[in-house]
Amino acid sequence: MPITEFLAKNAAQYPDDISLVEINPEVQDRKAVTWKDFDLIQTNPTEHHRQQMTWKEFDQKANRFANLLLTRGIKKGDKVAILLMNCIEWLPIYFGILKTGALAVPMNYRYTADEIKYCLELAEVNTLVFGPEFIGRIEDIFEVIPGVKTLFYVGEGVPTFAESYDKLVSYCTSKAPDIKLTDDDDAAIYFSSGTTGFPKAILHGHRALVSSCLTEQNHHGQQKNDVFLCIPPLYHTGAKMHWFGSLLSASKAVLLKGVKPEWILRAVSEEKATIVWLLVPWVQDILDAIDRGDIDVNSYQLDQWRLMHIGAQPVPPSLIKRWKEHFPNHQYDTNYGLSESIGPGCVHLGIENIHKVGAIGKPGYLWEADIVDENGKPVVQGEVGELIVKGPGVMKCYFNNEEATNASIKGEWLYTGDMARMDEDGFIYLVDRKKDVIITGGENLYPVQIEDFLRSHPAIKDVAVIGLPDDRLGEIAAAIIEIKEGATCSEDEINKFCIALPRYKRPRKIIFAEVPRNPTGKIEKPRLREIYCGKRLVEAQTTK
Residue 8 burial by Cβ neighbours in a 10 Å radius (0-12, 13-18, 19+): middle
Q: How confident is the model at residue 195 (pLDDT cuts 50, 70, 90)?
A: very low
On the question of pLDDT at 32 being above 60, the answer is: no
For the ranges 132-141, 448-457, 468-477, the lowest mean pLDDT is seen at 468-477
Measured between alpha carbons, how far is 427 from 64 in angstroms, rounded to an integer?
47
Overall average pLDDT of the 185-205 stretch: 83
3 state SS of 240: helix
Question: Is the separation of the CB atoms in 313 and 523 below 8 Å?
Answer: yes
Measured between alpha carbons, how far is 329 from 207 in angstroms, rounded to an integer?
36
3 state SS of 67: helix
pLDDT at 317: 83
Q: pLDDT for 258-289, tens place per residue? A: 999 999 999 999 999 999 999 887 898 899 99
| Cβ within 8 Å of residue 362, ≥6 positions away | 347, 348, 349, 350, 369, 426, 427, 428
Measured between alpha carbons, how far is 491 from 495 in angstroms, rounded to an integer?
6
Measured between alpha carbons, how far is 470 from 443 in angstroms, rounded to an integer?
14
How high does pLDDT run on average in the chain? 89
pLDDT at 44: 44
Q: pLDDT for 367-380, tens place per residue? A: 999 999 999 999 99
Distance of CA 15 to the CA centre of its chain: 29
pLDDT at 518: 72
Most confidently modeled range among 6-20, 310-324, 343-357, 512-526: 6-20
Overall average pLDDT of the 176-202 stretch: 86
Q: How confident is the model at residue 387 (pLDDT cuts 50, 70, 90)?
A: very high
pTM of the model: 0.82
Q: How confident is the model at residue 390 (pLDDT cuts 50, 70, 90)?
A: very high
| Cβ within 8 Å of residue 303, ≥6 positions away | none
pLDDT at 38: 34
Domains of the chain in sequence order: 4-258 (3.40.50.12780), 306-433 (2.30.38.10), 437-532 (3.30.300.30)
Q: How confident is the model at residue 35 (pLDDT cuts 50, 70, 90)?
A: very low
Question: Is the separation of the CB atoms in 268 and 305 below 8 Å?
Answer: yes
